[in-house]
Each structure stands twice: as structure tokens, then as C-alpha cells.
Structure 1
Amino acid sequence: MSVRVRFAPSPTGSLHLGNALTAAANRRFADERDGILVLRIDDTDPARTLEGGEEAILDDLRWLGIGWDEGPVRQSERAALYADAAGRALERGAVTDPDGAIRLGHTTLLRPGGTATYQLASVADDLSLGITHVIRGSDHRPNEAVQQLIARALGGELPEVLHHGLLLGDDGRKLSKRHGAVSVAELRDGGVPAAAVRSYLEDLGLPAHDVRLDRARIGRLAIDAIAAMPDEELAAVAGVPAGYAQALRGARTLVEAEQLGRQLVDPEPVSLPPAATPTLERFVELRAGAGELDEAGARAIVRELKAVGGDLRALRLALTGAESGPALGAVVAALPSDEAVERARRAQVSD
């Protein structure tokens, strides 16, 4: 039997990092076994359905590079399947309440209005879609026994269930909005590359126990991911020519890379005091005579200026309009010679 797993989020908006962990775990489990991942949208409860919520989930999955092979299968479109499942459950011991609800033991299968509950819809879908393994967070562990009873009442068996540990906040409690920046969209908007988030989730794998969210680890992975981006890709994100990309390699986020890019292509104008003139004039001499520079050549210019007591802070201000930013050698290497010379001259003021 071929492996079939499913990722089944509710359409409540951007994926929580804990849900993204489940998505990545299901994708990896399927890939390692030449299996199929079904994307199912659990939207039987209108109160939990957010307008645009499904689209946000699909965007997050695409951004993370987590594809699906079938779906999206929407539970809101499968009412006939659930009605049929409830009918089979009635033949095997379920009962109809006076209000019209259908119940198996203490578990409601159909609400009085005829809509399926999470428990019935989830089991009926797993059986009808041929799911072989259910991989989900350990907060669903209490559902397993109930769902096995429902599966048998429908004439089947629950798929094999694997529960993984949850992502927790620094306080040891389940992640929520109080912990800040815990959704995929928030990380994306904050400039964390998709490769960094995906690497973090892959590193976690299928944790046997709960783990605390390691923001520092995500930050380190973000720096590594930016460092590994091709020049053209990084430059496009930052909105700069490809030749400027190397100066952005130390950025901690793509938002920061964009900010550094603005320093390079559109620096704030500065007028430096006369004390900075010797440094700027010497830089002009060195840079104008150097022609095209690689980073080693640019660092040599910076070293020479430093050796004679040059004001490197003033040079950075002249070239970027800011007191901090990319390594000065990387800035000198990135800027074309005529542009660097013009900025250095423009920043000088006469006595």
C-alpha cells in the first residue's frame, strides 16, 4: 500500500509555526516513502473560518516550498459524504438526539442543523481519501481513541497515528499571539528568508517531545540563508544592481538587506567638516587610480587609510550617508569608481 498522508489546517489565516512544523513533517514523511500528501482544509466550523484564511495558508506553503500532491480538499464541499457516514454510524450504535443531532457515545457526529463536527468529518475524510498515516501535534492525542471508535462505527480502522511534540514559547507554554511573531507571515514580513524557516523546521524533524521556539537559531539560519543567496536574487530583493549584492551579505534579514541597499544606491546627502578632507582626498586618489576592484583590493584601500590615521567613519558617511552598515571594504568594492569618487568629493565642504 502506498503511503498517503494529509495536512489539514483550519482556514484561520497564516500558518502558526507549529502548524508549519506539521506540514513540513508530513511532506518529508511522504517524500521519504514515495508517498502522497493531501492538502485538506478543515472548514466545517464557520466560526473558525476567516475570510482569505485559505489563501493565506496556500501562500505560506508555497513560500516555504512545501508542495502538496492532491487538493485542496475542502470539508465544506463534502456534506453528502458526512451524511452518509453518519447514517452508517447509526446502523452501528449511534443515536439521534431529540434536537436532531447524531451522537456516538459522548461524541456528537452531526450537529442539530446537519453539519458534521470535526471528529466525524476528520475520520470520514481520512477513510475516504485512503490516508495511511496521520501525523499531527501531540495536542491531538486525546482525539485518537474517540476517532478510532468513529472509524470502526463507519466500518473502517483509523490510519496509523504519529504525534509529534509541540513548539512552545520561552515561558514553556504553547505558542500563541502573546509570544509575538509566531506565524509564517510575520516571519516573512520581518525579512526572514523562506530557506531559513524551512531549515529550522527540517532540523526539528518529528520531535518526540515539546520543544521551545529558538528565535536565535532562526536568526542564525537567516544570516546563513542570505549569505547563500545568488547575487541576482539577493540584489532583486534589496532593489539594487547585482554588483552591490556582496555588500549585503552580512544582513540579518531581507528587510535589513533592503535598508542597506538604499544606503548604497540612494544615500542621504552629508556635508562633512574640514577635518575629514584629508581622508576623503586620499581616498579619491587611491580609488580613482585603482580601476575595477575586487573585495581584496577594496580592503587594501581601507587598510591603507587606516594605517595613516584616516577617518573611516567620515568615509563611510560620505559613501553611504550612514554611520553603520555593510563592511566598508564591501561598500568600496560595490560602488563603481566614478560614483565612489563623486560621493567623496560631494561630501567635502570648504573652510
Structure 2
Amino acid sequence: MSIAVVKFSSRLVAGVVQSFWQQVADGSRFEEAGESVGWSVTTVRRELRSSGGVRPRRGRTLTGRSLSFDEREQIALLRGKESVREIARRLGRAPSTISRELRRNADEVYYYRATTAHARAHARAARPKTAKLKSNEALRKEVEKRLGKKDSPVQIAGRLRKNHPNNPEMWVSHETIYQSLYLESRGGLKRELVKNLRTGRTLRKPQRRPDERRGRIQGMVMIADRPAEVEDRAVPGHWEGDLIVGKDGKTAIGTVVERTTGFLMLVHVPADQNRAEAVRDGLISKMGALPDELRRSLTWDQGIEMSRHKEVKIAADIDIYFCDPHSPWQRGSNENINGLLRQYFPKGTDLSIYSQTDLDYVAHELNDRPRQRFDFCTPNEMIRTFLLR
């Protein structure tokens, strides 16, 4: 069987693609989601054109049956150095899986490259099932007729079940209708019928306006309402916080820095826990342990991880303020410390491997580092000075 040649790009890597679409589903703008997974604006546009604005199914619920791109990179690294059985042992795979991968996706003379192999596997796996609206002419004509009358896909799906209660062949979900209109690979319906939908869009979009951040954080108190004493850094106890994000946006660490002293605290965010709940629990633990005079306010950006901010405010007894959208300079201290932290946690790192003990050690190292703005005193010394007054 001949396989179509496919040029490798990160758009073939399910983990990257699904991370992008999950962030869109969570309310991020396309550009924001693209930036977080390392895509240029051009790559984002290509993804939207090819998908029709519909989140792809491939890779959405990975079972581990297929080799990932990371595993193929490991195979390429170990090939020629280790036996097939040793490679399989390291990856936790069957030896037959590795030998089959090398046989199917290696170049001539058994030369194996992860990018080429992944592209070939991606092309081989593209065996789409014939869409119901393509194979069932009577159903397709009925759907097209109702779209022509400007019925919505939800109305069409409901009416078909009502009109044909004993004939499942004449049933179709509203999502299938949308995908047949917007996604070229699904097909079946005339593309021009999209103009009969309420929106008339040729590209499917999230149900929100581009400048709207609906459904993200309720009850925010904005930075404009923050006390004036925060600005001159004369009074300690005002903090700035954010997340640094790891590989594919799937792991994160909370970073909180005190504006006056530069004192840093790091918050463990378990990868297997809801991020908003993990940030809430971590902040309550860290901020709640501070003396009253060091627990005045916390300023954060509008990331969804702070959707439980009211619980943090009550439990830790601290006022919480939010920056304006796309205004990182409003958390200047935190942005600077996050840059320093990349020495310890480079971009693309799996941050879930670090425990709270590991994070406390890194925070201690940075808090013991002399700072020029404090005449080369350390944040540890600065914060002790304020506490002893």
C-alpha cells in the first residue's frame, strides 16, 4: 500500500494540536492558544483552514495504543545504540511494536528519523469512515432541503427523529451536520449552505466575541482599584503571581513574588488535579502561612487558573486584584522572576516531575541571591529586615 507523502509539522502531533484546541475551548483566543504551543500566526491560520474551525477527533482521547512523537524521538535517539528489546523496555512497549515501527517507517537502509516516521504514520492512520451524509442520499437531501429553509442543525436533527422514529438511518446529530458543512474531510453537504446558518460563517468559531473573555473569571476586582500604597513599594505584603507553563501547556508551577523585597514562593500544581483547584489549594497553603503584615494583596493576570480566587481571598485573608488583559508590565516583578526561573525550568520541560520540596529549594536559592536593586542584599535579608521592625 502506497502512503501519501506528508511533510512533518507540529500540526501532526496530537498532544500539541489537542492542547491548542483545549485552550480555545477554555476561552483563549486563537492567537494566545497558538503562542502557548509554539505556533506562529500563519500556522494557526493553516490549522483553522484545514479544520474548518472544528476541533479534530484524532488524538482527543489518546489510549496509548499508538506511538507518540516523543516516543518516536526516543527510538531515533536509541536506534543503533541499543537493541530493539532494550528500546522497547525503556519505552514500556512490546519489542514487536518497536520492530514494526522500524520496518514500516524507516527510510532506506533502515535509517530512522522521528519526523519522517511520524508523518508516515499520520498519513497511514488517515482512514476516515465514510460520513453518513455522504453515503445516505435520502438523508443528505432531507438535510439540505431543511438547511435551504434556514432550519438550524439542532432543529433538523430533532425533526428527523420526530418524523422517522423507527428509522435510525434517517437520524443524524447536529454536530455531524456542522462537521459536514465546515470540515472538508467529512463532506457530504454543499459548502455554500453555510450561508443559511444563523451566523453565515464560513469558519466555525467559539461562541464568544473576539474581544470577550466570557465564562472565565467571575467577580474580578481590577488593578485600578488596588490601593495606591502598592505602587511605591514602600509597604511590604503586596504580591504578584502567575504560572510558568511546561511542555505543551499541560504542566505548570505557580510563582508568587513580594513587590517590596523580591521574596519568592513557588506553588506546586499537580498535573492530575484540576488546575484552578490546585492553584487555590497551593495559594491558601503558602499565603495563609504568612504573618498578617505580609498578607495585604495579591495581583494576578486573568488566567482561568484563578477562577477560585474568592475562596483564596477568604481562606488566606488577602485581597486579590486582576491585571488588565495583555498587560504583563502590571506584574513587572513577577515577570522578571519568571525569567530567572527559566534557568531552573527551561521552556518545554515537564514540570510535573518537581515536588513541592524541589520548588521550595529553588525558591530558597533565588531568595538567597544578591540583588543589585537592594544594594546586593538578598530577598531573605530584606524580608527579615521588615519583619524585625
**TM bracket, shorter-chain basis:** under 0.3
Bigger Rg, which one: 1
The alignment's TM-score, normalised by the length of structure 1, stands at 0.23
